[in-house]
Amino acid sequence: MGSAADAARRAESETTRRRWLLSAPALVIIFVAAIGPLFVMLAYSFMTKGDYGDVKPIFSLDGWFSVLLQRDIFDDTLSLADANLIIMWRSLSLSAITTAATLILGFPTAYFIATRPRETREMWVFLVTIPFWTNLLIRTFAMQQVIRNEGILNSLLMWLRVINEPLPIMYTDWAVLFGMVYVYLPLMVLPLYASMEKLDFRLVEAGYDLYAGRLAVLRRVIIPLVKPGIVAGSILVFIPSLGAYVIPRVLGGGKTMMLGNLIELQFGAGRNWPLGAAMSITLMAVVMIALLFYVRNAARAGGGHG
Amino acid sequence: MPEPAVPQGKRVAIEARGIVKEFGQGAGSLRALDNVSVAIRENEFFTLLGPSGCGKTTLLRMIAGFEFPTEGAILLNGEDIAGLPPFKRPINTVFQSYALFPHLTVWENVAFGLQMLGRPKAEIASRVAAMLKLVRMEELAQRRTDQISGGQGQRVALARALAPSPKVLLLDEPLSALDYKLRKEMQIELKRMQHETGITFVFVTHDQEEALTMSDRIAVMSKGRVLQIGAPTDIYDKPADRFVADFIGESNFLPATLLSLSSGVARVKLASGAEIPATVAEGLVPRESVTIVVRPEHARAVREGGQVSGRVENVVYFGTDTHIHVALAGGGTFIVRQQNSRNGVAGFQVGDAAGIEIAADAAQVLRD
């Protein structure tokens, strides 16, 4: 009696053990490659900075302290670290604008692809992914060629006599914005297209039939139905925008730094690893809070369908 | 081409006049509708009946505003609406797949049209409640549309289309997704709703039985043309041409020679030599050699006599009646449907000699 139950239990624990063993390589990789470094960062953020970069294993809150505050070197008074705050605000606002701009540009693009005949849709999707074939750095330098003073855009506008002098776009927030919209647009188009491809266009007809004009159909039928794609695309664009490094470095120069550049500065020239680590974790926290806020909002507005 | 007859007293609600619809251009173009004219009266249950690909759905979509005619006009109460988009037509559709909004509840689905028309909240609430009551869905008002059954979805689609009180309600094969029993129920329900609302219904179906049981009038369509328009009894008893006779119910076709014609009744001579009277549809000028049609239940198999004769080929028992297939002496098969009584079946065996007695006014001359 008991032996049968025992055998069953033994067999079950055997299966469980085997499953753990099977997933062990994946778990090791996840731990070593993803979670481990985070712990290293967390530990570094609470240590004292070394003289030539690196950290000394002495507990200190200086890193965290310097994220938002600065101490006057003469009279030791505390004040907000304006430079850091400006860079954080620029990162957040530029990322938000990039997300909005890619959404505005990507929505009609995805709609266009989704309404093509089935045979030609794959070709359009393929065309959207072509920029991924080129390295990000090269694409960013290419963008520089477009927007610099003697670049294609300014030459064209001057040739058309729209402007008399070249627009100084390079090394401004605009340059960073152009670059990020260009680079991240496919990340918005693809999830949007995936949602729209599933859209039942008979529902659009039903909307028209029930006295909804074009705008009302867009607002009341299409957007609620493709909301999962809007949410996914926004997340995919917002997160890398917030941490963007190459684009602000190449197009923004030293004047328009973003969080990614600021963090790099601490690990490089700044030689302040604890501050860099604390900033990285701050960035992660900002991303997570923004996401939580966004996803919850989207879920509520979509009546549980987002 | 029979002209749509409009009797006095009843006004025309919606009319399609000389509609031509071509898809594509040049040599590869497809003519989906070829000079179609129909006049549908107020408060009528009108059915467009035909096999798939006959253009009935294209015509319906044109009335709704989803397609635009290549030629011709769509008139609503005498005004041409062919250029108006769907959202500017006081016409609503019950779609074949229902097309309920999955992100909205049952209540919100029914309220959609009224909200788009900008009606006051109180009016919307009372109107939606009334519509849900009409389709008996009050209890499920707050359900999501993926939490209701196919039959319930059908009711919601109806309530949604009826809520804005359209002048005309279009129904695109709304019952085809339902099982037999539910379909029968919904047929009766639809008739009830049409009576209660007084709205003109334009119904599209390929199911001849559905068309016969529900419609006030039927337009039979084939290959982009309207072949016949009339009440179910007219369509069934007096089919104008071979396609209509064949598509609706069962028919026997006999070749005959025209002898004389007076006031809509012809005397024709059958291949067997028998002379019988046959009705001729209005406006039809028959040639000398014609085809006549006789419905299986309008003839009787007899031991002796009859206008045509042959040998029993098959006897098929159907419960309420029996079909006797008689191979005619001159070639071809004639099917007779005889009602079974308490005394048993007609009593014919395969191989028996049988005569066929055609009822006095059963034969009809077909348009070729």
The region of weakest confidence among A261-265, B85-89, B244-248, B286-290 is B286-290
Is B7 inside any structural domain? no
Mean pLDDT value across residues B132-140:
90
pLDDT for position A1 = 52
Q: Tell whether the model's pLDDT for residue B110 goes beyond 90.
A: yes
Within this chain, do residues B282 and B224 fall inside the same structural domain, yes or no? no
What is the residue range of B314's domain?
Answer: 250-365
B164/A210 touch (CB, cutoff 8 Å), yes or no = yes
Nearest CA in chain B to A228: B103
Higher-pLDDT residue of A130, B264: A130
Q: List the domain boundaries for chain A.
A: 2-79, 82-301
A212/B160 touch (CB, cutoff 8 Å), yes or no = no
Set of chain B residues whose Cβ sits within 8 Å of the Cβ of A216: 116
Within this chain, do residues B203 and B255 fall inside the same structural domain, yes or no? no
pLDDT for position B5 = 47
B101/A203 touch (CB, cutoff 8 Å), yes or no = yes
Distance from chain centroid for Cα A71: 32
B117/A211 touch (CB, cutoff 8 Å), yes or no = yes
Within this chain, do residues B181 and B275 fall inside the same structural domain, yes or no? no
pLDDT for position A304 = 42
Q: By a Cβ cutoff of 8 Å, what residues of chain A touch chain B?
A: 200, 202-203, 205-213, 216, 220-221, 224-225, 302-303, 305
Within this chain, do residues B184 and B290 fall inside the same structural domain, yes or no? no
Nearest CA in chain A to B160: A210
**Tell me: the pLDDT tens digits for A130-169?**
988 889 999 999 999 998 888 888 889 988 988 888 888 8
Q: How confident is the model at residue B342 (pLDDT cuts 50, 70, 90)?
A: low
Instruction: Say what angle helices A82-114 and A227-242 make with each other, to 10 degrees.
Output: 140
A128 CA: distance to closest CA in chain B (Å): 29
Mean pLDDT of chain B, nearest integer = 88
Q: Tell whether the model's pLDDT for residue B8 goes beyond 70.
A: no
Within this chain, do residues B279 and B312 fall inside the same structural domain, yes or no? yes
Based on the number of CB atoms within 10 Å of its own CB, is B27 exposed (0-12), middle (13-18) or buried (19 or more)? Answer: exposed
Across the interface, which of B97, B103, B112 has its CB nearest the CB of A202?
B97
Across the interface, which of A206, A209, A224 has its CB nearest the CB of B103?
A224
Within this chain, do residues B266 and B192 fall inside the same structural domain, yes or no? no
Q: Tell whether the model's pLDDT for residue B345 goes beyond 70.
A: no
Q: How confident is the model at residue B180 (pLDDT cuts 50, 70, 90)?
A: confident
Across the interface, which of B87, B97, B101 has its CB nearest the CB of A208?
B87
Q: How confident is the model at residue A108 (pLDDT cuts 50, 70, 90)?
A: very high
Q: Is B103 on the interface with A (CB under 8 A)?
A: yes
Q: Of chain B residues 40-69, which have a CB less than 8 A from chain A?
A: 64-66
**Tell me: the pLDDT tens digits for A46-69?**
998 888 878 888 888 888 888 888
Q: Is B228 on the interface with A (CB under 8 A)?
A: no
The Cα B169–Cα B162 span in angstroms is: 7
Is B266 inside any structural domain? yes
Residue that is last in its domain, among B216, B237, B258: B237
Q: Which tokens go with A144?
A: 């520089």
- Split into its structural domains, chain B has a count of 2
Residue that is last in its domain, among B204, B237, B270: B237
Element (H, E) at A195: helix A173-197
Q: Tell whether the model's pLDDT for residue A73 goes beyond 90.
A: no
Is B199 inside any structural domain? yes
Set of chain A residues whose Cβ sits within 8 Å of the Cβ of B97: 200, 202
Provide the whole-model pTM. 0.80
Distances (CA, A) of A168 to A148, A164, B121, B360: 7, 12, 54, 98
pLDDT for position A215 = 94
CATH of A82-301, one of 3.65.10.10, 1.20.810.10, 1.10.3720.10, 1.10.8.60: 1.10.3720.10
Measured in degrees and rounded to the nearest 5, phi and psi for residue B171 equal -125, 115
Q: How confident is the model at residue A302 (pLDDT cuts 50, 70, 90)?
A: low
pLDDT for position A2 = 60
A208/B112 touch (CB, cutoff 8 Å), yes or no = no
Q: What is the CATH number of the domain that holds B171?
A: 3.40.50.300
pLDDT for position B4 = 45
Within this chain, do residues B194 and B64 fall inside the same structural domain, yes or no? yes
Is B245 inside any structural domain? no
Q: How confident is the model at residue A305 (pLDDT cuts 50, 70, 90)?
A: very low
Residue that is last in its domain, among B237, B258, B281: B237
Higher-pLDDT residue of B202, B261: B202
Within this chain, do residues B270 and B141 fall inside the same structural domain, yes or no? no
How many A-B residue pairs are in contact by the CB < 8 A criterion? 63
Higher-pLDDT residue of B203, A301: B203
Q: Tell whether the model's pLDDT for residue B285 goes beyond 80.
A: no
Mutating which of B100, B116, B147, B167 best tests the A interface, going by the most A Cβ atoms within 10 A? B116
A79 - beta bridge partners? A70
Higher-pLDDT residue of B19, A7: B19
The region of weakest confidence among A109-118, B197-206, B268-277 is B268-277
The Cα B259–Cα B288 span in angstroms is: 8
B65/A202 touch (CB, cutoff 8 Å), yes or no = no
**Tell me: the pLDDT tens digits for B46-95?**
999 999 889 999 999 999 999 999 999 999 998 999 889 999 999 999 99
The Cα A284–Cα A264 span in angstroms is: 15
pLDDT for position B120 = 96
- Strand pairing category for B200-205 and B45-49: parallel
Q: How confident is the model at residue A303 (pLDDT cuts 50, 70, 90)?
A: very low
Mean pLDDT value across residues B197-207:
93
The Cα A112–Cα A117 span in angstroms is: 10
Q: Which tokens go with B234?
A: 């007219």
Based on the number of CB atoms within 10 Å of its own CB, is A257 exposed (0-12), middle (13-18) or buried (19 or more)? Answer: buried
Pick from A181, A151, A168: which is nearest to A247 by CA? Answer: A181
- Strand pairing category for B321-328 and B333-339: antiparallel
Q: How confident is the model at residue B128 (pLDDT cuts 50, 70, 90)?
A: very high
Q: How confident is the model at residue A31 (pLDDT cuts 50, 70, 90)?
A: confident
Q: Tell whether the model's pLDDT for residue B343 goes beyond 80.
A: no
Pick from A174, A278, A302, A283: which is nearest to A238 by CA? Answer: A283
Q: How confident is the model at residue B330 (pLDDT cuts 50, 70, 90)?
A: confident
The Cα B148–Cα B146 span in angstroms is: 6
Within this chain, do residues B111 and B223 fall inside the same structural domain, yes or no? yes
Within this chain, do residues B227 and B269 fall inside the same structural domain, yes or no? no
The region of weakest confidence among A189-203, A228-242, A282-296, B139-153 is A282-296
Q: Tell whether the model's pLDDT for residue A71 goes beyond 80.
A: no
Mean pLDDT value across residues B247-270:
88
- Strand pairing category for B168-172 and B91-94: parallel
Within this chain, do residues B210 and B134 fall inside the same structural domain, yes or no? yes
Which ipTM did the prediction report?
Answer: 0.82
**Tell me: the pLDDT tens digits for A251-268?**
988 778 899 999 998 988
Q: How confident is the model at residue B1 (pLDDT cuts 50, 70, 90)?
A: very low
Within this chain, do residues B255 and B231 fall inside the same structural domain, yes or no? no
Q: Is B127 on the interface with A (CB under 8 A)?
A: no
Determine what percent of chain A is predicted with pLDDT higher than 90.
43
Q: Is B296 on the interface with A (CB under 8 A)?
A: no
Is B186 inside any structural domain? yes
Mean pLDDT value across residues B280-308:
85
**Tell me: the pLDDT tens digits for B350-364?**
888 888 988 888 888
Q: Are B102 and A305 in contact (CB under 8 A)?
A: yes
Nearest CA in chain A to B157: A206
Is B3 inside any structural domain? no
Q: How confident is the model at residue B317 (pLDDT cuts 50, 70, 90)?
A: confident
The Cα B189–Cα B174 span in angstroms is: 12
